[in-house]
C-alpha cells in the first residue's frame, strides 16, 4: 500500500507540470489573438483536457489500488538459507564398497506438510538421475504415523530406512518433517503469517545417515491461493543450489542430470 501511494506522489508533479504547461500555452494563444471567442474556445479545451487528465489519474489510481490489495491478500512462501547442515564423511579406505553411487531413493510423506512431500519428490525427479519412489508409493509400505519417523531418534530412522529400502528395492530413503510456530495475523489483518522448519534426513540401505539439514521458511496464507508452479520453481532452485554448495551431487547422493 505504501509503495502504491509513493508511486502516485511521484507521478503527481508530472501531471501538474503537464497541466500547467498546457494552460500556459492556451493563455498565450488567447492573449495573442485578443479575440474573446478564441479565449472562450481555449478555456473550454483546457477544461476538457484537465478533466481527461483527472479521469485518467483516477482510473490509474483505482487500478493500482486494486492490484495492491490483491497482492496484499495473496499467499506465498519464502525459503530462507539452510541451517545445521551435516554431511557424512566418505570412507577413504574402502571407497568403492562403503560409498557406492546412489541410483534410487524413496521419499517418505512429510509429517506436518503433505504438500512438501510432493515438492521434494518433484525436485529429485526433475533435477537428478535418481529413480524416485513417490510418497504415495512409500505410504503403502509404511504408515505416515510410524513411530520411527523423522521425529524419532537416529536408531529408529535407521531401522525404518533398512525396512523401506528392502521392501522397495532402493538405495536411500529421504525422511523429513515440518514443524512451526502458530500463525498470527499480519499488520493489515488480511493474512496469517507463520514460521516453519523442514527437517531432512537421508539414510542409506545400511541405516547409515548420509546427510541431514534444516530449511526454515515463512508461510503466508491469504485469501488468494499461491501459485504452486512458482513455489515449486523457487523451491527447486533453492534446494539444488544447496546441493551444489555441499557437493552432494559430487558425492553421488544426488547425481544431477546433464544439462
Q: In this predicted model, what pLDDT tens digit does every residue of 153-207 receive, in sequence order?
A: 788 899 999 999 999 999 999 999 999 877 666 555 567 788 999 999 999 999 9
pLDDT recorded at residue 139: 84
Q: pLDDT > 70: what percent of the chain?
A: 61
- Classified as helix, coil or strand, 81 is coil
Nearest CA to 236 out of 158, 121, 100, 87 is that of 121
Flag the least confident range among 57-71, 105-119, 170-184, 243-257.
57-71
Higher pLDDT, 148 or 83: 83
For the segment 85-108, the average pLDDT, to the nearest whole number, is 78
Residue 51 has pLDDT above 70, yes or no: no
For the segment 204-218, the average pLDDT, to the nearest whole number, is 96
Q: Residue 119: CB partners within 8 Å, gap ≥ 6?
A: 231, 232, 235
Residue 53 has pLDDT above 60, yes or no: no
Per the listing, cell 513417490 goes with 134
Which CA distances in Å does 20 have to 40, 186, 190, 247?
18, 42, 41, 63
Domain ranges of the chain: 2-73, 76-246
pLDDT recorded at residue 4: 42
pLDDT recorded at residue 30: 41
pLDDT recorded at residue 227: 86
Positive/negative CA dihedral, 242, 245, 247, 249:
positive
Helix (H), strand (E) at residue 200: strand 192-204
For the segment 40-49, the average pLDDT, to the nearest whole number, is 51
pLDDT recorded at residue 105: 98
Question: Cell numbers at residue 99, please?
Answer: 560409498
Average pLDDT of the chain? 75
Which CA distances in Å does 34 have to 25, 44, 47, 174?
14, 16, 20, 87
Q: How many other CB atoms are there within 10 angstroms of residue 175's CB atom?
A: 30
Most confident range (mean pLDDT) of 19-28, 53-62, 95-104, 153-162 is 153-162
HSE (side-chain half, CA atoms, 13 Å) at 224: 10
Residue 74 has what DSSP assignment? B
- Are β-strands 209-221 and 104-107 bridged in parallel, bridged antiparallel, or unpaired? unpaired
pTM of the full structure: 0.68
pLDDT recorded at residue 23: 42
Instruction: Encode burial over 46-55: b for 16+ CB neighbours within 10 A, e otherwise.
Output: beeeeeeeee
CATH number of 76-246: 3.40.50.10610
For the segment 123-127, the average pLDDT, to the nearest whole number, is 96
pLDDT recorded at residue 221: 78
- Classified as helix, coil or strand, 237 is helix
* Banded model confidence at residue 46, pLDDT cuts 50, 70, 90: low
Amino acid at each position: 500500500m505504501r509503495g502504491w501511494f509513493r508511486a502516485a506522489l511521484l507521478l503527481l508533479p508530472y501531471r501538474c507540470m503537464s497541466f500547467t504547461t498546457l494552460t500556459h500555452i492556451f493563455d498565450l494563444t488567447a492573449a495573442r489573438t485578443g479575440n474573446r471567442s478564441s479565449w472562450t474556445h481555449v478555456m473550454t479545451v483546457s477544461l476538457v483536457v484537465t478533466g481527461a487528465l483527472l479521469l485518467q489519474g483516477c482510473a490509474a489510481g483505482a487500478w493500482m489500488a486494486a492490484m495492491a490489495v490483491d497482492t496484499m491478500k495473496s499467499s506465498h512462501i519464502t525459503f530462507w538459507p539452510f541451517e545445521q547442515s551435516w554431511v557424512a564423511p566418505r570412507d577413504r579406505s574402502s571407497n568403492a564398497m562403503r560409498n557406492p553411487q546412489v541410483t534410487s531413493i524413496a521419499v517418505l510423506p512429510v509429517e506436518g506438510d503433505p504438500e512438501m512431500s510432493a515438492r521434494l519428490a518433484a525436485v529429485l525427479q526433475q533435477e537428478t538421475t535418481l529413480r524416485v519412489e513417490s510418497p504415495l508409493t512409500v505410504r503403502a509400505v509404511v504408515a505416515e504415523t510410524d513411530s520411527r519417523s523423522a521425529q524419532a531418534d537416529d536408531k529408529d530412522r535407521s531401522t525404518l530406512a533398512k525396512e523401506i529400502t528392502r521392501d522397495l528395492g532402493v538405495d536411500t530413503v529421504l525422511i523429513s518433517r515440518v514443524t512451526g510456530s502458530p500463525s498470527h495475523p499480519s499488520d493489515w489483518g488480511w493474512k496469517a503469517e507463520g514460521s516453519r522448519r523442514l527437517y531432512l534426513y537421508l539414510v542409506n540401505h545400511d541405516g547409515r545417515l548420509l546427510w541431514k539439514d534444516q530449511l526454515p521458511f515463512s508461510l503466508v496464507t491469504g485469501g488468494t491461493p499461491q501459485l504452486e508452479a512458482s513455489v515449486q520453481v523457487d523451491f527447486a532452485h533453492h534446494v539444488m543450489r544447496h546441493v551444489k554448495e555441499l557437493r552432494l551431487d559430487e558425492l553421488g547422493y544426488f547425481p544431477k542430470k546433464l544439462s
